[in-house]
Amino acid sequence: MKKILITVVLALSLLRSYADEGMWLPLLLGEQVYSEMQKKGLKLTKDQLYNINKASLKDAIIIFGNGCTGEIVSSQGLIFTNHHCGYDAIATASTVEHNYLRDGFYAKSQQEEIRSAITVQFLVRIDDVTKEVNDSLGTLLGRARADKQAAVLAAINKRLSKADEFIECRVSPLFKGNQFLAFIYQRYKDVRLVGAPPESVGKFGGDTDNWEWPRHTGDFSIFRVYMSKDGKPAEYSEANVPLKPKYFLPVSIRPLKDGDFAMIWGYPGSTNRYETSLGVNLSIDINNPTLVKLRDVRLKYMFTEMQKDAGTKLKLASNYASVANYWKFYDGETKQLLKYDVAGQKKKAEAEFINWAKGKPEYENIFPEWEKVYAAWRPYAKHRVYMNEGIFGSPLIAYAASLIQLEAALVKTSATKDDVTKAVNAAVEARKGFLEDHDLPSDQNILGAVLQMFYNDIPKEQYPIGFFEGVKGSFGDLKDEATWKAYAASVFKNTMILNDEKWNAFVANPEAVKLQEDPAFVIASAFFKNYSVKFMPRFQEFTIKNNDLGRLYLKGILEMNPAKAKKMYPDATFTMRVSYGNVKSYVPRDAVKYDYVTTSKGLLEKYKAGDYEFDLPSKQIDLLKKKDFGQYGDKQRGELVIGFITTNDITGGNSGSPVINGNGELIGLAFDGNYEALSHKMAFDKDLNRTICVDIRYVLWCIDKLGGASNIIKELKLMK
């Protein structure tokens, strides 16, 4: 009987898996979680993970572009990252005749690799500068503290940077400004596109599958970083040679098991795990639903035009993908925050703190003051979202707003002719970039729609003075959709921004009055100046007070439980972090259990010929039906594994991060989270959180069998 009971308990413990919370600083792993990582299956030493004097695993992890992670996977500087991280570079390299986004691309030699605008950064070291910063700040509060902190951090960044060596320092405030670490990077500017699967593979499932498991997306792309012949970072040159990295990741093609150790290294962008119930409620009530509503409109009109022809799809693809990604995220986040009563959970923790803070002058008034701060800002929060996601969600109006700087130069009595010339030249250059990516039909529809939504949703006392009256006087009933369609059409027809003849005439003789009469500039100027004068100061005051109270609250939390404080991790700040966990199946709801991998069988089941989201290359269908998996197939399953899930803690910025086994070998690329745990920026769900990864065997199969690029495979160190 006892033996049976032990067996049952063990079985239940295996079914109930827990995710592993924490995005840990690599230099502190030994003090905080290294022993736990060993227990879960890590075989590497602390020095093999992070060492500033010797080559270590951290030297293979890079900041890729402006917001992703990548990893070095060969002795020739080869980079793996996500398809969506390389998306803009792939789209930029594409033309209608050579559509690499649609058809895929693999360089069969280094000479065929394509120059890109992407740069990558390697972490050199991390310095703790907390004492220096705190000594400079003293007891300052409010704007004085914010201004002084900005100046101190700028001085440290300047001191530790070396432009001639491409060394850059960025000090990151952690624990709400209770700790300051200086992250020193070396930037490489010559990065070339090596390969990418067809978009139908790299984005398989599209928006329907985004943030969902099971997933069958081949979300990867390949680049290479180059250096000068003398081994230093350099601007692009044909004379440059592939980087000789300090460290690169070997690649495992061995099968995965449920429960295998997995760690993820990378650059998670931002979390707010120490947010209060006040902040959670602001997101639930105002910020998130407003953003989702506005992005929904923008996506609808872009998608309509993208379906019409390949050229428009190429033009809008990158922007559409960016808008769509967080449209679904914030919709899901709101639902999960409500479902699991995250505000209520935080309220309980705050009650404990409030009780502890009684009689402690530094802390006892934090929450009464905080409630006043939020009450003062809430009436204007929706307006701010409408500015960012609505008014400036129109590319035309966003560009027109940039001309406010030109207007300032034209009306400034002390401005010199050179000042005006510089402002005009900057506007001309920016216009070129704007027009290259601009799609008139979708933008015109977006503008009409968001202006009507602003009119309906924002209180009248917050309107730009005279704007809506002017539209009504010329175009009619402001509640009528036809009015706004006609107004938007008039703006697009008459703005000089979209008319080369009118624009060139203005550039030849720039006058403030001419700019101020332009219909697109009228909108941008009216809304921007209304916001910047009336509401931006309120937001700045809210932010400064919120930061001060947040810092004090977290300082108190650290004091309240010193033992727990030693095992706390800071919020993500797009600085190098490590998370650890296991490959793991899960049970999202009653009677449903998700396996830890997806396979080619499921991929074929989802496939729909000609579908916008679920199409695949005919060659891939043929190969998969024949089960032509080469060395990458899973013999036990008799299929090709496409993706897998782990319990690791990640967030945006971890896109492209390497998923690494206990031996330090690459097993996949992280690219998404699951819908059931989209509250993860504010609250980690230990039961349901999963990281969605593309299996490295599918990546290699796509390169080798589908793409025919065996030259890339030969460059890797495969562990069989």
The residues assigned a catalytic role are 84, 219, 655
CA distances from 440 to 302, 309, 312, 419 (A): 10, 14, 10, 32
- Dist. CA 439–CA 318, nearest whole Å: 13
Q: Are 697 and 667 in contact (CB under 8 A)?
A: no
The length of the chain in residues reads 720
| Identity of the amino acid at 82 | N
Beta strands in 47-104 (DSSP E): 61-64, 68-72, 78-81
Beta strands in 623-683 (DSSP E): 641-646, 658-660, 666-673
One-character DSSP codes across 5-26: HHHHHHHHHHHS-------B-G
| Identity of the amino acid at 571 | D
Q: Which residues are paired to 578 by β-bridges?
A: 24, 265
Question: Hey, is 42 helix, strand or coil?
Answer: coil
Question: Hey, is 80 helix, strand or coil?
Answer: strand
Burial class (CB in 10 A: 0-12, 13-18, 19+), 493: exposed
Burial class (CB in 10 A: 0-12, 13-18, 19+), 708: exposed
Only one residue has tokens 């990158």, namely 318
Find, among 13, 12, 19, the residue nearest to 584 by Cα: 19
CA distances from 112 to 108, 189, 195, 421 (A): 7, 18, 10, 41
Burial class (CB in 10 A: 0-12, 13-18, 19+), 230: exposed
- Dist. CA 368–CA 545, nearest whole Å: 13
CA distances from 454 to 250, 457, 526 (A): 53, 5, 13
Residue 71 backbone class (left: φ over 0; alpha: ψ -120 to 50; beta: rest):
beta
